[in-house]
């Protein structure tokens, strides 16, 4: 068993990452429909997007997220990584990168490592 962070084995972290990505993919329209001001304000971004994803993850995780120390803090850091990696802003226009599905797992993982 390979240890990853804080003594948590890599398989558990990978499982959580695999659980988060489909939830984000399903709710990606929330990001597309928020304003640039909201997107650029981390607190508002978390309120409009991250909180919803966290709630859905908590319901579907069967307790897996409880075994990761400081998971909630790490989760919110991962949502900022996701935002920075997959969202493009052009003036007042928000779009999602066409390759976001490939970039999503690594962005989530980077945030969970923080």
Q: Quick check: 113 pLDDT over 90?
A: no
C-alpha separations of 75 from 25, 31, 71, 91 in Å: 16, 17, 6, 28
Domain ranges of the chain: 3-113
H or E element at residue 12: helix 10-26
Of 102, 111, 101, nearest to 42 by C-alpha is 111
pTM of the model: 0.84
The pLDDT value given to residue 33: 94
Task: State pLDDT tens for residues 2-56.
Answer: 445 445 566 767 778 888 999 999 999 999 999 999 999 999 999 999 999 999 9
Digit-coded pLDDT (tens) for 70-93: 888 989 999 999 999 999 999 999
Q: Between 114 and 35, where is the model more confident?
A: 35
């Amino acid at each position: 068993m390979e240890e990853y962070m804080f003594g948590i084995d890599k398989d558990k972290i990978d499982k959580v990452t695999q659980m988060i990505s489909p939830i984000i993919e399903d709710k990606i329209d929330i990001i597309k429909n928020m304003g640039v001001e909201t997107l650029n304000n981390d607190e508002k971004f978390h309120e409009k997007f991250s909180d919803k994803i966290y709630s859905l993850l908590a319901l579907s995780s069967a307790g897996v997220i409880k075994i990761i120390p400081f998971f909630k803090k790490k989760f919110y850091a991962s949502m900022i990584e996701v935002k920075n990696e997959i969202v493009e802003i052009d003036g007042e226009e928000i779009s999602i990168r066409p390759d976001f599905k490939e970039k999503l797992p690594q962005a989530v993982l980077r945030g969970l490592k923080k």
